[in-house]
Chain A
Amino acid sequence: MTRQLNTPMDRGYSLVMGTLAVIGLGILIVPVIIVLLSSFTSSTVLKFPPPGFSLRWYEALLDPVRSRHVHVALSNSLWVALSATALAAILATLAALALNRVSRPSARALEAGFLSPLILPGLAFGLATLMYFSILGFRPSLNLLIAGHIVVIAPFIFRTTLASLTQLDPALHESSASLGAGRLYTFRRITLPIIAPGIAAGAFLAFVASMDNVPVSLFLSNARTNMLPIRMWGMMETTLDVRVAAMSGALIVVVLVLMIVMDRLTNLTRRMSM
């Protein structure tokens, strides 16, 4: 006897699970498609389906006068994300090298500490940094935003680097050392090439997380140091500005391209599901 014939109950199972899976996938993907299509609307209000198609909102978004604030926010966000990702990559890689294969309880506690910003409510941390910096007498600046973002995004790089270090065979280190190679040389020629895809995948996630960060930017940015998500939130709250849809469309395309490139380079999809 091999497989049972499908009973009505089994068919019910397949029907229920199949329907739920289709609805679930719809919830994931339909909003992205709707934003993309709405961004090409010719109308002045956000309506789906659009009454006609045009590029007017993309033009409005590129207009240096009308969309100056958006451009400033975008360049601020890019600068903060690039700086924070670069610094976090160095700090998190060093920390991952230190804690790799150390099983002392203190090391496990430190590891949990480094990962904790992933779980802690970001908004509480954002407010905490605002209070902290204001008591120290610092005025809002992009450097403070970089410091706040490093804490929030370093765990992404720490996690993927730690995961790629577990795939590193310790025998490689020993043979390199026994052949007379110095520790730095071994790191550069053996360790780094093996863990580089892990660092890159983590850095990509960290960059996206920084560009999209709301909880920290909400408290640390002001009119001068405005950040893109905060600006877009403002445009959405006051008037349902259709430029937000155009901005969304542009960002979705950028993320899509980055995702495909990163997947080719680092097998990102596999790393993210680890």
Chain B
Amino acid sequence: MSGAATSETAGVEWRLAAPLGLTYLAFFAAPLLILLVMSFSVDDNLGGFSLAAWAKFWGDPFYRGVVWDTLRLGLVTVAMTTLFAYPIALLFIASGPGLQRLLLFIVLLPLLTSVVIRTFAWIAILSREGVLNQALLALGLTTAPLNLLQTELGLVIALMQIEMPLMLLPLITVMQQIDPSLSDASRALGGSKWRTFRKVILPLSLPGWIAGATLVFASATTAFISQTVIGGARLVYLPTLIWQQAMVVYNWPFAAVASVTLLVAVLAGVSLFAMLGRFARTTA
């Protein structure tokens, strides 16, 4: 009611954030600071100052290629996830309550299934003797089994299952808020279904897509298990590189450089999506 009373309560309750704040300071901010310092160190005891690890990482075309491959994997996964998420979201909006419940269940189940299990399943599907190759051979769509493990295509397919729920949940939420009479009006005025989708549904659902794309990009670029198991030794992404350097080669400053690079790359990608959202809102 009175401004003084509410600001007083706010002042008292403000302190309730302190326990989590201090926990984050001790176990989140401090470790990340150490990571940054480590990337400028000579050895894994934080001794000395050196740009050697940074120079080695960015001076080598192989490592620059790994950064590029990781970013591309994130973007391709976002694109492929979008391709299938929109039709599922449209189906969801057009369904009755019973079917909606079933669809939500299908969307949530992979999200709550262990990432190791999901990756394991994709090996059974994508391998040379796997389900997909058996089906393709039986249908006569291919004469020799396709090699999908250790390829970017196979990895993106496997990642799609893991990432699609992250795209679908915000997308469905936003699309449920779109007034159906807008689509009806577009149709009544002679707009084709394609045109209605492009001119009404796509622009109005953009905030949901951006929220989903951000999560998918952040998650796909750091999906260590899928990248190592499906990608194998042939495809190297930043998370695999970080793990090898930290736990196999024991070159901590170098692993720290790769980690800081991954952090900055993901943050840059996420900011890009946020900027896209602001741009879309101002021009819409």
B63 at the interface (CB under 8 A from A): no
Across the interface, do A127 and B84 meet the contact criterion of CB distance under 8 Å?
no
By the criterion CB–CB under 8 Å, are A31 and B118 in contact? Answer: yes
A24 and B87 within 8 A (CB): yes
Q: B interface, how many residues as a size bin?
A: 35 or more
Binary interface encoding of chain B residues 152-182 relative to chain A, with 1 for a CB under 8 A from any of its CBs, else 0? 0000010011001100010011000000000
Q: Specify which chain B residues have a CB less than 8 angstroms from the CB of A17 in the assembled complex.
A: 86-87, 90-91
Between A and B, 21 residue pairs with Cβ closer than 8 Å are A1-B188, A17-B90, A20-B88, A25-B88, A32-B109, A38-B124, A47-B129, A48-B124, A114-B24, A120-B218, A124-B260, A125-B31, A127-B242, A127-B246, A128-B31, A128-B34, A131-B44, A219-B246, A232-B116, A259-B105, A269-B101
Determine if B116 and A132 form an interchain contact, defined as CB atoms under 8 angstroms apart: no
Q: List, in ascending order, chain A residues with CB within 8 A of B90's CB.
A: 17, 21
Contact partners of A2 in chain B: CB under 8 A: 188
Q: When A and B form their complex, which 9 residue pairs have the shortest distance between CB atoms, in order from nearest?
A: A24-B84, A31-B121, A98-B17, A132-B31, A121-B222, A128-B31, A98-B16, A21-B87, A128-B35
Distance of A30 from chain B, by nearest CB (Å): 7
Question: Cβ of A113: which chain B residues have Cβ within 8 Å of it?
Answer: 24
Known: A102-B14, A124-B242. A135 touches B46 (CB 8 A): yes
Q: Are B256 and A121 in contact (CB under 8 A)?
A: no
Instruction: Give the interface SS of chain A, mostly helix, strand, loop or mixed.
Output: helix
Residues of A within 8 A of B17 (CB): 94-95, 98-99, 110
Tell me the count of chain A residues lying within 8 A, CB to CB, of chain B: 96
Chain A hits for B30, CB < 8 A = 132
How close is B264's CB to chain A, nearest CB, in angstroms? 10
A-B contact count (CB 8 A): 279
**With A125-B28, A252-B113 in contact, is A95–B20 under 8 Å at CB?**
yes
B103 and chain A: residue at smallest CB distance: A25
With a CB–CB cut-off of 8 A, which chain B residues contact A91?
Answer: 19-20, 23
Q: By the criterion CB–CB under 8 Å, are B130 and A251 in contact? A: no
In the bound complex, what is the Cα–Cα distance between A92 and B18 (angstroms)?
10
Q: Is B194 an interface residue (CB 8 A)?
A: yes
Contact, CB under 8 Å: A3 / B188: yes
- The answer to whether B260 touches A95, judged by C-beta atoms less than 8 angstroms apart, is no
Using Cβ atoms and an 8 Å threshold, which residues of chain A touch B88? 20-21, 24-25
Partner of A273, one of B161, B173, B267: B173
Contact of A102 among B10, B119, B270 (CB under 8 A): B10
